[in-house]
Amino acid sequence: MKIEQLYTSCLAQGAYYISSEGEAAIIDPLRESQPYVDKAENDKVKIKYVFETHFHADFVSGHVDLARKTNSTIIFGPGAKTDYPCHIAKDQEEFIVGKIKIRAIHTPGHTPESTTYLLINEDGNNHAIFTGDTLFIGDVGRPDLAITNNITKEELAGNLYDSLRNKIMTLEDNVLIYPAHGAGSACGKNMSDETFSTLGEQRKSNYALRDDMTKAEFIGELLEGMPPPPSYFRQNALLNKNGYNNFDDVLVKSNKALTIDEFKNHMVSKNSLVIDVRHQNEFIKKHIPNSLFVGLNGSFATWVGTIIKDIHQPIILIVDKGKEEEAITRLARVGCDNCLGYLDGGISAWEKSGNPTSDLESISANNFVEMLKLNKINILDVRKESEFETQHIESSINSPLAEIHENLDLINTNEKSYVHCAGGYRSVIAISILKANGINNLINIAGGFNEIKKTNLNENCYRSELTISN
């Protein structure tokens, strides 16, 4: 028996490859299915099943393409309804993979169809559970992502409480927990950096598994401070339920070098969104006016899905040579299949053809602090609300990047605003969005809050939940 966790950091997502005696199963695969096919061929095993823990909202799964390529069966949990062939498992139904069994345990709560898969090893012992978004390391899944409208998040939270206590916590302490996500995913509030654990360890450390917790307390704690889900979540969940474009076809269509004239034509006639995926330092120096920055060096797909209004909008790319396929693949992981290509020669070709460029003003954290000591200045903090509440600069305004479109009126357009995040990635995304909306008096703070904290800024200039200066 072999279990491999295939973890994708930019999505904070874990897929799983399980094999035994010439047969294999894949759990929650990524959009691009060929790596799983290649792995199975290298191991000389046949992929028999593709298990889906639920209708994922934060990425488009590769189950449809993978099943088609390998003639395997897609398995969903009770209550799931799809527009493509699959097997809807009954609660406690078992599936044979070589010499092991995989048991479907219906654990509704994150979504109505959410199912945990229990792996029973060759000796007949409970070995591991693949929990999807039902149980994370240090957290549990949010209950507000169901694509059906006939159940509330409060009802789903109550279902999750019951699923955890009646289905999962009845298992042995040494059972391994393999979740679908880790820290950085928007599918939970407080996930650990660890990507697997044991049930015994989670009983000790996970707030949601406390023995003395009532259902009402669980619902209250789970829903407290939960930010709204990114707008693309529902669109991705529907693609996972109804089906989607073949990924190989998307890659062929999108991986196209565009001439300057073709690029300009797409900008105008097709109202394409220009996304610059280079490093933020390169974007700061020079970029196409009104283009959006979302760098491949960060959580690229998640932020693209979050900040654009429609995942079907045409997209054209500014990308470093050799990174084109990576950018297109990562866009497709969140359902952005309408990429029309990339500018051949990139920003250099654009400038050599006599086209205008723009830049961003950026200052060091030390220079920012010296200005702050001398003047009252406008500070825009685009970190998450939870980060802001932990510690922030006195008098700064918080507008989380995920909500920047809704908070345009918070920006003082008549004066300069100094923008920061934690490390300098999100702030450049935010500034590119604001500039595209006609707001130009913006200065980036290089290195963000992490660098600001290293300066000699007086502690009285900080505000937090624990220490509040007057």
Q: 264 and 313 in contact (C-beta within 8 Å)? A: no
Give the CA count within 13 Å in the CB-facing half-sphere of 423.
6
Q: Which ranges of 318-407 would DSSP assign to H, the alpha helix? A: 324-332, 346-352, 365-374, 385-390
b/e map of 446-456 (b: 16 or more CB within 10 Å)? bbbbebbeeee
* Count helices and strands in the chain by DSSP H and E runs: 16, 24
**For domain 245-352, which CATH number applies: 3.40.50.920, 3.40.50.300, 3.40.250.10, 3.50.50.60?**
3.40.250.10
Q: What is the DSSP letter of 399?
A: -
Single-letter residue type at 144: D
What is the pLDDT, as a whole number, of residue 467?
A: 31
Sign of CA dihedral 56, 59, 64, 68: negative
Those residues with Cβ within 8 angstroms of residue 66's Cβ, 6 or more apart along the chain or in another chain = 26, 29, 33, 36, 37, 47, 50, 72
How confident is the model at residue 226, as a pLDDT?
86
Amino acid 200: pLDDT: 97
Q: Considering the domain 361-463 in this protein, what is its CATH number? A: 3.40.250.10
* Alpha-carbon distances of 456 from 378, 380, 447, rounded to whole Å: 19, 20, 15
Report the C-alpha gap between 179 and 136 in whole angstroms: 5
Residues 334/384, Cβ–Cβ less than 8 Å: no
Strand partners, 50: 26, 74
Q: Quick one: pLDDT at residue 227?
A: 84
pLDDT at site 460: 64
pLDDT per residue of the chain (470 residues) written in tens, 0 to 9:
999 999 999 899 999 999 999 999 999 999 999 999 999 999 999 999 999 999 999 999 999 999 999 999 999 999 999 999 999 999 999 999 999 999 999 999 999 999 999 999 999 999 999 999 999 999 999 999 988 878 999 999 999 999 999 999 999 999 999 999 998 887 877 788 899 999 999 999 999 999 999 999 999 999 998 888 888 999 999 999 999 999 999 999 999 999 999 999 999 888 899 999 999 999 999 999 999 999 999 999 999 999 998 999 999 999 999 999 999 999 999 999 999 999 999 999 999 999 999 999 999 999 999 988 888 899 999 999 989 999 999 889 999 999 999 988 888 888 999 999 999 999 999 999 999 999 999 999 999 999 999 998 877 677 764 332 22
Query: Between the CA of residue 170 and those of 41, 137, 239, 398, 425, what are the distances in Å?
Result: 37, 17, 34, 43, 43
Helix (H) or strand (E) holding 420: strand 417-420
**Cα–Cα dist 64/56, whole Å:** 13
Classify 177 as helix, strand or coil: strand
Angle between helix 63-70 and 34-43 (nearest 10): 40
- The Cα–Cα gap between 175 and 190 comes to 22
From residue 73, how far is each of 14, 89, 95 by CA, in Å? 20, 11, 11
Q: Is 462 left (phi over 0), alpha (psi -120 to 50) or beta?
A: beta
DSSP result, 26-50: EES--S--HHHHHHHHHHT-EEEEE
Coil, helix or strand for 120?
strand
E strand or H helix that includes residue 101: strand 100-106
Residue with tokens 């605003």: 417
Q: Is 46 exposed, middle or buried (0-12, 13-18, 19+ CB in 10 A)?
A: middle
DSSP state of 181: B
Based on C-alpha coordinates, what's the Rg of the chain?
24
What was the pLDDT predicted at 376? 86
Q: What is the pLDDT of residue 314?
A: 96
Which tokens is 14 given? 């874990």
**What CATH homologous superfamily does 2-234 map to?**
Ribonuclease Z/Hydroxyacylglutathione hydrolase-like (3.60.15.10)
Q: What is the dihedral of CA 460, 463, 466, 467, to 10 degrees?
A: 20
361-463 and 245-352 share a CATH fold = yes
> What residue spans define the domains of the chain?
2-234, 245-352, 361-463
- First-to-final CA distance of the chain: 61
The Cα–Cα gap between 132 and 142 comes to 12
Handedness of CA 404, 408, 411, 413 (dihedral sign): positive
Q: Two tokens at 189?
A: 């509030």
Return the ∠ at Cα 214 (arms to 210 and 217), rounded to 5°.
Answer: 90
Positive or negative: CA dihedral 44, 46, 51, 52? positive
